[in-house]
Structure 1
C-alpha cells in the first residue's frame, strides 16, 4: 500500500511563455500544522509562497515565477530543480493518460504501478522535455464514494433528499479521499523529481470525477449527491492539476465563467488546446454553449496545432457496436462506456461539428490530435494527404492493458472504417513497426520538434520504442 506523510511538491504547472520567459506555478502540499515552504529563488530574486487552500488537513502553497530563456531552473528549500527553458528551437513534449485503475489503485505495488513513469523520468534525464501533457484520468477516484452513507451505493442507489448536514459531511469525506489519491500520484517515488522539473498541463476525464461522469443517467449526476461529487472533484482538479482556484479561472481557461474548463496555450511555433469534455456533458451532449464558443472562436497561430481530446476524436464505427450491444440485455451495462465516445449515436452531430472545426484549423497549420482513455496505443488518420489530420493515442501510463484478444477484436472492428464528413474518411492505422491496429501494452508518447519538423514515438512497456512517425 502506498503511504504518504502529507508532503508533496514542488509540482510545476505551465502557465505560458512570452518575451519575459517561461511562466510557471509551483505548488507544495504540507500538513496544516507544518510550516510553509520557503522562498523560491531564480536569477531574478526570491518569491514568497502564497497560501492557496486548506483542505483535508493539508495546506497547499503556490509560488508564481518566471524563468528567463536559457536559465537553468530554480531553487526551493535547499534543492535545485533544473527546468528546460529554451522553447523556440528543438523541443520535446511528453504525453500521458490513464494514471491509475478503477479498483484497488491505492494498494498496488508502487514499483509495478509506476514502471512507465520511471522510464519517462529516465528519458527526461537523458534529453529534457519542455512540457508534460496529461490527457485525462490523472487519478482514478471511483472508490472515493465508498465509506459514506450518502454515496456508498453510488451511482445505483442515490438518496432522494439528503439534509444539508449530511451533504456537508459527504463533502469532507470526498475531499479527504480525493486528496489521498492526488498525493499518492504526486509524491510517488520516482515521480516527485519529475514533477518538480517538468511543467505539466492537464485536461480531465471521467475518472478524475467518477466512472462515466456525464454519461450516467441525469437522475444521478443532477442529484444533490452527484452535484457534491462534481463540485469536490472540480475543486480538487483545479487545485492539484492546475495549481489554481476559482479566482484563477479567467486567466487560465478559455471560458472566463468556468462553466467549461477548456484551455489554450501557445509555445513558439505551436498552439496547444484542449476542450473540456466533462464539465458540461450529459447523456445527449458533450459540450454546452461555453465549450463550443471557446472552440469555434479559437484562431491558432504557429506552424503546428496540437489538440488534446480526452476521448479519441478519430475512432471506429462505435455507433454500430453501440446498436449491437443495446440489442443484447447482458451487454447493456456497457452503454455508459459507449456514450462516453464521440462516435456514440447521441453525439454524432457534435462529433461532425468538432471535426469541422479541426478541418478549419487545418487550413492554417498541420493539426495533430492527442488522446488517451482506451488503455491501448493506436493512431488514426482522417482525410486526403493535403488536409490529413493525425491522431495519436497513448493510453495507460499505469493502467494495466486489457487482453491482447480484446485489442485484436477491436482492430478487426476498426477495419470497417468511418466517414462522418464527406471526403474525409477515418482510418485506424498500426503504430510504426507494429502489425496490428491496437497495442495492448502500457505506454506513453513523446513528441520531438527537430529542425522545425515534428515526429512522434510511442514507448511501449514490452515492445520498446516505435520508429518515429512524421507529423507533417
Structure 2
C-alpha cells in the first residue's frame, strides 16, 4: 500500500547531541516533489533554512540543524506556529519510552485512531507534564511487507534468485526504498504522533522490523545474498534519514563510529547517560554485536559517569530461561519456524557468552559510578520488569515497554512466559535474575499496549507504565 503525500509532514525533532550546555537538534520535513523551498525556522539567535537531505520518487526530505539551550525551557517557530520544547536537562525532568510502533501484516491499512490510541494518550500526558526527550527502542516501523511486489524479493527469505543482474538489483533497491519511505512518511503524518514529534526531540535505536523480521538471526545464505544486502542497504539508508535525520558522512557526534559501520550512540547530560548500542548492524546468527559495538560498550564501561545510566537494549537484557523453548523447538518441527525469534534474544543458547560479557560490563559501570543502572527494552509486545542483584546492595533494573501500536498477544502467552520465569535464571553465578510484576499488578507480564514514563525528581528516578486498559501504574523507584 503506497502512501501518497499531499502536504508537508513535519517538523519532526531529533536530538543530534548535547554540547556545551546546548541541545543540538535536527528538524525533519517531508514535502511532495517539486515544491518550493520550505519556510525558515525562527530562533532566538536568528533563522535557519531547511536544506534538502534526500529525494524520493514523489517526495523530498529536508533537514534544518539548530541549537536550543539545554538548561531552560525554550521554543522555535516555523510556518507561523511556535513550538515549546522542554529543553531543561539540568534538574527534574521526564522522558518517554516507546517501542514496536506497528504490526507485521497490514499495518498501513489500519484505522488511525485505533492504531495510534496510545500515541494520543502519550500526547495528552505531555500536555499535562512535558517530556524532555522521547526514546524509541526499536521497530519504529514494521517493514516486513516491503519485499512484496518485486520478483527478486517476493518470496523473501524462503526463496531467492540464484544470480540476479545488477539492473534487477538496482530496480529492487528503488522498490524497497519506496516501501521504506511509505512507512516512515505514514507514521510521521499520523496526527497523534506528529504533534508530539514536533515538540519532543527523539532518540532512536533500530531493531529487526526496521529491516525485516529476524534480520541477523536469519541464515547467512539469506542475509549475505545480493537480495539480502540490497534490503539491508535500503533499510539502513532509510534509518539514517528518518530515525536520525542524517546520511552517510554526516552522522551526529553522539554516534560512536562516525563511519556508521554500526549505529550505536551515547548521550551525556548532567547526571544522566543514555547508551544505545546497535544490536542489528553487526549481528549474525552467532553474535549480537561485532567489534565496533563491543568497543563502544567497553569504552563506556571504562568512563566514569556520575548520575544515572539508561541502557537501551532493543531486545530485553534480562529474561527467562529461553533455552527451555529452544529445546522444545528442536523436538517439535512445527515450532522450528520460531527459531529466529529466539535467536534474536540475549538469552539464546547461541549468545550465552556474549550475554555474560554484557552483564559484566554493566557490573563495571555500576562499580565505577556507585549507582544502579537501568536497562530499558521493547520487542516482546508485553510490559514487564526484571531485577538482577549485582552485589553490594546494587541492582540492574530492567523495564520493558512494548508496544505502543502493536496489539498485545494473547494473555495465555503472557501467562506462559510468567510460568517460564518462575524457573529462575542466573547467567552470572551468584547474581540471580527475577522477573517481577509492575506496580499494582499481580502477573509478571501484562498483555496490553503500553508506553513508559521515566521521571527524575530531586535526583531520584522512578518509572511508570501507561497500560491501555489498566491505566497509569504507580511509581517504581529505580
* TM-score, normalised by the number of residues in structure 1: 0.98
1:134 shift after superposition: 0.2
Match of 1:192 among 191, 194, 198: 194
CA distances 1:146-200 after superposition (whole Å, capped 9, x unpaired):
0000000000011111000100100110111100000111110221111000000
Other-structure match for 1:415: 422
Contact residue 56 and residue 175 of structure 1 kept, 8 A: no
Q: 1:379 to 1:141 in 2, by over 3 A?
A: same
1:20 shift after superposition: 4.2
Q: Does 1:9 align with 2:10?
A: yes
Other-structure match for 1:276: 278
Match of 1:439 among 424, 428, 446: 446
Distance in 2 of aligned mates of 1:393 and 1:218: 30
Other-structure match for 1:331: 335
Q: Does 1:369 align with 2:375?
A: yes
Contact residue 303 and residue 366 of structure 1 kept, 8 A: no
Q: Does 1:340 align with 2:341?
A: no
Distance in 2 of aligned mates of 1:111 and 1:231: 33
Helix, strand or coil at the partner of 2:161: coil
Other-structure match for 2:361: 357
Contact residue 359 and residue 387 of structure 1 kept, 8 A: no
Comparing 456-465 with 58-67, greater Cα deviation is found at: 58-67
Runs of 4+ that moved beyond 6 A = none
Distance in 1 of aligned mates of 2:441 and 2:252: 44
Aligned residues: 471
Other-structure match for 1:108: 110
Other-structure match for 2:169: 167
Q: What are the within-5 Å matches in structure 2 for residues 70-109 of structure 1?
A: 70-109=72-111
* TM-score, normalised by the number of residues in structure 2: 0.96
Distance in 1 of aligned mates of 2:448 and 2:392: 30
Distance in 1 of aligned mates of 2:345 and 2:88: 37
1:276 shift after superposition: 0.3
Contact residue 5 and residue 59 of structure 2 kept, 8 A: no
CA distances 1:70-129 after superposition (whole Å, capped 9, x unpaired):
353101111111101211010000000000000000000000000000000000111110
Other-structure match for 2:437: 430
Contact residue 432 and residue 467 of structure 1 kept, 8 A: yes
Q: What are the within-5 Å matches in structure 2 for residues 146-185 of structure 1?
A: 146-185=148-187
Contact residue 249 and residue 258 of structure 2 kept, 8 A: no
Other-structure match for 2:466: 459
Contact residue 448 and residue 454 of structure 1 kept, 8 A: yes
Distance in 1 of aligned mates of 2:37 and 2:360: 49
Match of 1:245 among 244, 247, 260: 247
Other-structure match for 2:62: 61
Comparing 311-320 with 48-57, greater Cα deviation is found at: 48-57
Note the residue ranges of structure 2 that are not aligned, 5 or more in a row. Answer: none
Other-structure match for 1:28: 29
Q: What are the within-5 Å matches in structure 2 for residues 117-136 of structure 1?
A: 117-136=119-138
Q: 1:6 to 1:153 in 2, by over 3 A?
A: farther
Q: 1:353 to 1:34 in 2, by over 3 A?
A: same
Other-structure match for 2:264: 262
Q: 1:371 to 1:7 in 2, by over 3 A?
A: same
Q: 1:417 to 1:56 in 2, by over 3 A?
A: farther
1:8 shift after superposition: 1.3
Distance in 2 of aligned mates of 1:83 and 1:20: 15
Contact residue 104 and residue 142 of structure 2 kept, 8 A: yes
Other-structure match for 1:379: 385
Helix, strand or coil at the partner of 2:198: helix
Q: Does 1:37 align with 2:19?
A: no
Q: What are the within-5 Å matches in structure 2 for residues 297-336 of structure 1?
A: 297-298=299-300, 299-336=303-340
1:36 shift after superposition: 2.1
Note the residue ranges of structure 1 that are not aligned, 5 or more in a row. Answer: none
Contact residue 17 and residue 252 of structure 2 kept, 8 A: no
Distance in 2 of aligned mates of 1:297 and 1:148: 43
